[in-house]
Amino acid sequence: MIDKLFSNFDNYLPLDAAEREDLAGRVIERKIKRRQFILQENDVCRHYTFVAEGCFKKFQVDDKGTEHNLQFAAEGDWLMEIGSFYFEKPSRVYIEAIEPAVIFQISRQNLYHLYDNNPKFDRNFRVIVENRLVETENRVLQAISSTAEERYLAFIKQYPHLLSRLPNTQIASYLGITPEFLSKVRKDLLKK
C-alpha cells in the first residue's frame, strides 16, 4: 500500500530511497470502515490524509440538519480541513468514509519535519495544496455563476471515476440541488 503513496509523489518530484524511508516512518496506515469518521465537527484536524483505497466525503451540516458536501476524495487524493490542521482550531466539517478505505495519515509535527529536512516535500505538498485551491476556486465560481446542468457537467469532468460509486443524494448535495432536480438534469441531458 505504501507504494501508492510513493507513486503519488512521482507525479510531482519523485522521492529517492532515503526520502521514501523517512516518509514511511512518519505516516500511519489505517483501515477505515464505511461510514467511519476520520474528522468530526469541533475536533481539531490532527492529520493530513492520503487515500490509498476507498472514498471519502468532506461535508458540513447546517442548522436544519442538512448535509452540504464540499469535497470528495478517492484513491490518490489528499484530504484535511486546512484551517483546523494548520491553526489547531476546531473543525467546521466532518470527513466520513463513503466506502471501506485504506489511508495514510501524517501529523503536523511529522509534516513539518519533512518540510524542514527535505525541500522536495515542501514543494510536493505545496503543489498538492495549490491544486486543491484551484479546485476550490473553480467550485466557488461554479456555485455563483453556473446552472445546475453546468455544475453537474463540471462534476462529471472532475470526478468521472466516482459517478458509479456515489449515490445520487451525495452528488446532489455536492451540487447544491435536490436528488429529484438532479434526476431532471440528467433526463434533460439525455434528451440533448
* pLDDT tops 90 at residue 28: yes
User: How many structural domains compose the chain?
Assistant: 2
Range of the domain at 181: 148-192
> In terms of domains, do 162 and 178 share one?
yes
Identify whether the C-beta of residue 91 lies closer than 8 Å to the C-beta of residue 40: yes
Per-residue CA distances from 113 to 23, 26, 106 (Å)? 10, 9, 11
Q: Locate cell 530511497: which residue?
A: 17
Identify whether the C-beta of residue 90 lies closer than 8 Å to the C-beta of residue 39: no
The mean of the pLDDT values for the chain is 95
> In terms of domains, do 71 and 161 share one?
no
The sign of the dihedral angle between the CA atoms of 44, 126, 37, 59 is positive
pLDDT tens-digit readout, 67-107 = 999 999 999 999 999 999 999 999 999 999 999 999 999 99
pLDDT tens-digit readout, 109-133 = 999 999 999 999 999 999 999 999 9
> In terms of domains, do 137 and 173 share one?
no
> In terms of domains, do 61 and 79 share one?
yes
- Give the pLDDT score at 192: 80
> In terms of domains, do 122 and 169 share one?
no
> In terms of domains, do 63 and 32 share one?
yes
